[in-house]
Amino acid sequence: MYRFSFKFDSSTRQCFVSDESSDMAVSSRNLDLYEPFCSQTTDTSSICDKPYAYEKMITSRLVNAAILQGLQNQTVESCLNACMSSRKRCRAVNYDVNLSNCYLMSTDKTDMEATVVQDESYDYYEPTCLQETQGTSTTAPSPTNSADIFLLREKNRTLRQEFRNIQHWEIDDLDTCWFVC
């Protein structure tokens, strides 16, 4: 993962950039934090109208859901990449932050049986746009030659106050804020 994050406030049109990761963010009622991560582009990459690829819920995990695959000793980035390139329909990720274990899930929080619960040892990730072809192919997606940078969104989190005052610009939209980073 990159070690910087940014926040875009659409009401004031301000873009705040920090060299902190989201681990150092604080709670906010109405602001969201974004953090980039790299992934190989695959031929099954979804066409998505959202400017971020995953939503992150800290200290949370999905329960009462089937695990597609468990992966040990993974970084968050490699875990999200595994979900994006999974031959099966990966609808969410539980990441054990203490053990660096990754669990690709077959359902997400919208499933009637599944529930997101508070758990200090986990972070929960959910793709914002599911890949239409994911799970329908009999062969693994083949990566192209390029790596793309995707965004991770954390709802109701923001940069610490000292970083909001140091690096900010008047920006019209989230895409431009991301470009400035």
Strand pairing class (157-158; 26-27): antiparallel
Q: Where do the structural domains in the chain lie, given as residue ranges?
A: 1-32+156-181, 36-155
**Distance of alpha carbon 82 from alpha carbon 62, whole angstroms:** 18
Predicted TM-score (pTM) above 0.75? no
pLDDT in tens, 6-59: 666 667 766 666 665 555 555 565 566 666 555 454 444 455 566 567 888 888
Residue with tokens 């969104």: 153
Q: Which residue type is seen at 143?
A: P
Q: Is the pLDDT of residue 160 over 80?
A: no
Two tokens at 166?
A: 């140091």
Do 175 and 44 form a contact (C-beta atoms < 8 A)? no
Tell me 164's DSSP state: H
**Mean pLDDT for the chain overall:** 69
pLDDT at 143: 38
Q: Report the C-alpha gap between 58 and 38 in whole angstroms.
A: 20
Fold of the domain built from segment(s) 36-155? Hepatocyte Growth Factor (3.50.4)
